[in-house]
Structure 1
Amino acid sequence: MIKGFKDFIMRGNVIDLAVAVVIGAAFTAIVNTFVEGLINPLIGVIFQVGDLSSWTLEVPTLSGGTSTFLVGSIVGAIINFLAVAAIVYFVFVLPMNHFKERQAAKAGVDEVPEAKLPTEQELLIQIRDLLEKNGTTSPPR
């Protein structure tokens, strides 16, 4: 049981995922500050709302009150997500992919396509043909 857990943890995918989560969390604070300090005010100027957090939509309810939709908060969250994803991709993923491609080219490792295994039907046909060739087509009694 412990060996299976160790094998699971030591797989490259799990380690890569852990690194991605840590790096993503670290950059989230930086990107959130950038978006809140620069992008949101710029969008606020374009839509003349001053700041995205004050961009709301009030809709009358059936009971006579109003319901407030925080449109600016939704747009801000989308911008934050896209900014974090873009930074992680362009700063980490893209350079790492180029690095891996260069390392593979240096090592002379080309991707070799895996040989296609015959299907069950193809195997049965081959067995039948071999039996016919050897003259043992009738089943043993």
Structure 2
Amino acid sequence: MIKGFKEFILRGNVIDLAVAVVIGAAFTGIVNAIVTGLINPLIALIFQADSLNSLVWKVPTLTGGETTFSWGLILGAIINFLAVAIVVYFVFVYPMNRLKEREEKRRGIGQPDEPSLPTEQELLIQIRDLLERQAPASKP
């Protein structure tokens, strides 16, 4: 049981996942700062961000009371999620992909290989077919 746990912990996937979690936590601060300092003020120019939370739908209940659906809160969460996703993509993912493409291009990785030469058997088949076409049809 201990041996299996040790193999699990030392497997590369677990260590990669742990590194990803730590890096993700570090990037959370950066992304939140960009969203709070840049994206939210841009949204506030279009919408009144404070008023999103006050957008509700009040529905009367059967007992005479009222139930409130806070659809503005949901809309605000969706806008916030999209803002975070946009920041992560355009600030981190897109530039990293471009850097990776440039590095691969510089190293020649991903370049199309030269066409492979035909095998000996393929050459013999081609020669045979050419000889058959060139030879006069012999009649028995």
TM-based fold match above 0.5? yes
- Report if the CA contact (8 A) 2:59-2:67 is conserved: yes
| Structure 1 match to 2:135 | none
Greater Cα radius of gyration, structure 1 or 2: 2
CA distance in structure 2 between the aligned counterparts of 1:69 and 1:56, rounded to whole angstroms:
5
CA distance in structure 2 between the aligned counterparts of 1:64 and 1:33, rounded to whole angstroms:
44
Between stretches 26-35 and 79-88, larger displacement belongs to 26-35
Using the TM superposition, give the Cα deviation of residue 5 of structure 1 relative to its aligned residue in structure 2, in angstroms: 1.7
CA distance in structure 1 between the aligned counterparts of 2:30 and 2:9, rounded to whole angstroms:
27
CA distance in structure 2 between the aligned counterparts of 1:3 and 1:86, rounded to whole angstroms:
38
CA RMSD in angstroms, aligned pairs only: 3.1
Listed one character per residue, the Cα deviations across residues 76-132 of structure 1 (whole Å, up to 9, x for unaligned) are 00000000000000000000000001101111111789xxxxxxxxxxxxxxxxxxx
Q: Which stretches in structure 2 are left out of the alignment for 5+ residues?
A: 114-140
| Structure 1 match to 2:9 | 5
| Structure 2 match to 1:66 | 66
| Structure 1 match to 2:136 | none
Distance 1:27 1:109, change over 3 A: same
Number of aligned positions between the proteins: 108
- Report if the CA contact (8 A) 1:52-1:73 is conserved: yes
Q: Superposed, which structure 2 residues align to 1:1-141 within 5 Å?
A: 1-2=5-6, 4-6=8-10, 7-11=12-16, 15-16=19-20, 18-28=22-32, 30-32=34-36, 37-40=41-44, 42-44=46-48, 51-110=51-110
Partner SS for 1:80? helix
- Report if the CA contact (8 A) 1:57-1:69 is conserved: yes
Q: Which stretches in structure 1 are left out of the alignment for 5+ residues?
A: 114-141
Tell me which amino acid in the other structure corresponds to 2:96. Answer: M
Runs of 4+ with >4 A deviation? 32-38
